[in-house]
Amino acid sequence: MAAYTTIWIWISALYLGSVLTYARTIEFARRTSSGLVKRQEGTRNSRGGVIIEPYTFVHRLDPANSTNVTSPVGNVEDVRYTTNITLNGKNFVVALDTGSTDLWVHPVLEDLGDVNGTGIPLDLRYGDGSYGVRGNISFAPLEIGEHSVPSQAFLAVQTGNIRGIRDIGLDGLLGFGFDASYASPINLAIKQVQGQNSTSGQSVLRNIFSQDPILPNFVAFDLARTDDLEEIIGGSLSIGEYDQRWKEVQDAPKIPQYPKRAVRWTALLEGVTVDGVDLTLESTLPGVPGGSLLALLDTGDPTAVLPLKIRDDIYSRIPGAVRLTTEDGYELWILPCNTTTSVAFTFGGQSFAMHPLDLSAFSRPINLGGSEYTACIGTIAGGGEYWAGNDLEVSLGDVFLRNVYSVFHFGDEGGEPYIQLLSQTDPEKAASDVVAVRNRTMASLAPEIAPAQLLDLILANSTLARGPRPTGPDGVAALAIAQMDPRGYGLLLVALLAGSMLIGVVLIGLAVLIFIRDKNEGRVARRRSSHRPLSLVLKSGQSAGPA
């Protein structure tokens, strides 16, 4: 039997006007590629709250061989924010995703049991449409925290090729997007069978709000970290309630959803700064105001995606950073691990800083020239002019959202949806933390190799024609061969050994915190984004090929 993250819920009374509501705050944790689950141990205080105590670690059984995973504690790869749900009386761990709406589970160790199947087949496609899940729509009783839904529509997955879910021990995904049929393929499919007035295909959130009319219709996320800032700890998912530690968010400016009546949590990104210097933003989408970009705030994306020009403008301003470019135009950045460069994003006239630690992630050990090294890889991917259905330019995932307390409000009666953000990162304090935090973390790792030195080692063993050497702040070339890990996540740098003929390759394990899309037949499209966000492809029908 698998071990799951414990959900802790505390109840506290608040007066909102004359209405008494109750906190519905659900603790959640991060899940790593090793399948390790953090379980929180806590005791309730006299007011019904939870006194948070240190985490313990629970091993989830490996679905492949049902043996305990023995990966070391402290793995920070493949971060997903998760919570527990109960479906048909059985426990499941699901990833939290504001980039989509529907609930699906792909049982690993648990049988769903006797659910109410509809026989309606459905594909859910994500990102660029090349990955997704397929199964049949079913109904079952659902519980999440204090909330229960007698009959919740969900997709019982039979096949899928989404990485960073089942392969790291998760059971599925819970969406927090809009309930419009266009955004919810499950709702659309049910309406097509039962009629347009049917409400049985509603999302989890819509059902919860419908059952409790006095419950404010918003969700809020605190994507917290450990004290050393390198891993995730605690945090909360609140339905219709603010985490009292961040209640000041109620007074934060309301960032309107853009465009109006959109079906995802998109807003105008009004500015990007690097160490206080404003970058030039030019949208390629019709109707987006000048100097802004259309951005999705997506808890299902472990990293971030920006237009290539903006991504490169950010990293090229970091002293010592270098770019690797493949012959197909694929790019990634290598950064000094101790960089203190400050990057901030502006929404609703307010600037929200990223912690410098969120700009990069540690590589796996790099074996090169008989020595073992560590490097830090940029966590911001570069997307083409159009991606994810040609209606988005930016996805700000967990590397940004860990720095804010975020509220996603579906709008009051007759009102428009909006987002509120409260900054949790002080740029000056964050910069002062970097050296101590990274040095402490790197004490147990192979020594860092400087980005320029890593490139020189690769180029020294390459048979590629180098041609003009593009220059950055430090004048170092950015040429190498890169290929996608066919498993769907992680990066492999490939150095060709010198000689008159190709005599071998060296695989460098730079598997980082980013997720990389599967490519058709393993080919890498030119200048494509290298991460794997879980934002739903919005189409009138879900007719993509088999998952």
Q: Is 432 helix (H, G, I), strand (E, B) or coil?
A: helix
Would you place residue 45 in the very low, low, confident or very high pLDDT band (cuts 50, 70, 90)? very low
CA dihedral 225, 228, 231, 233 (to 10 degrees): -40
Residues in a beta bridge with 135: 122, 157
- Structure pTM? 0.75
CATH of 253-395+424-522, one of 2.60.40.2470, 3.40.50.170, 3.90.1150.10, 2.40.70.10: 2.40.70.10
- pLDDT single digits (tens) 104-157: 998 755 577 777 888 899 998 887 677 889 999 999 999 998 899 999 999 999
pLDDT tens profile 253-293: 999 999 998 889 999 999 999 999 999 999 989 999 999 99
The whole-number pLDDT of residue 332 equals: 85
Between residues 345 and 113, the one the model is more confident about: 345
Q: What pLDDT was estimated at residue 382?
A: 87
pLDDT at 4: 24
What are the b/e assignments for 335-371, b being 16+ CB within 10 Å? bbbbbbbbbbbbbbebebbbbbbbbbbbbbebebeee
| The residue type at 304 | A
450 has a pLDDT exceeding 90: yes
Q: What is the pLDDT of residue 384?
A: 64
Query: What is the rounded average pLDDT for all residues in the chain?
Result: 71
pLDDT at 294 over 70: yes
Q: Spell out the domain ranges in the chain.
A: 9-239, 253-395+424-522
By percentage, how much of the chain surpasses pLDDT 90? 43
- On the question of pLDDT at 471 being above 60, the answer is no
What does the pLDDT read at residue 368? 78
Give the mean pLDDT of 374-383. Answer: 90
Q: What is the mean pLDDT of residues 227-246?
A: 79
For residues 393-397, average pLDDT: 93
pLDDT higher than threshold 60 for residue 208: yes
Task: For residues 457-477, give the mean pLDDT.
Answer: 42
Same fold, 9-239 and 253-395+424-522: yes
Nearest to 133 by CA among 432, 542, 461: 542
Question: Is residue 326 a contact partner of residue 494, using CB atoms and an 8 Å limit?
Answer: no
Looking at residue 151, what is its pLDDT?
96
Q: What integer pLDDT is reported at residue 363 of this predicted model? A: 83
Checking if the pLDDT of 500 tops 90, the result is: no
Which region among 222-231, 396-405, 438-447 has the lowest average model confidence (pLDDT)? 222-231
Q: Is the pLDDT of residue 427 over 90?
A: yes
pLDDT over 60 at 36, yes or no: no
pLDDT at residue 273, rounded to an integer = 98
The fourth-level CATH superfamily of domain 9-239 is: Acid Proteases (2.40.70.10)
| Greater model confidence, 300 or 400 | 400
Question: What dihedral do alpha carbons 125, 131, 137, 143 form, nearest 10°?
Answer: -100
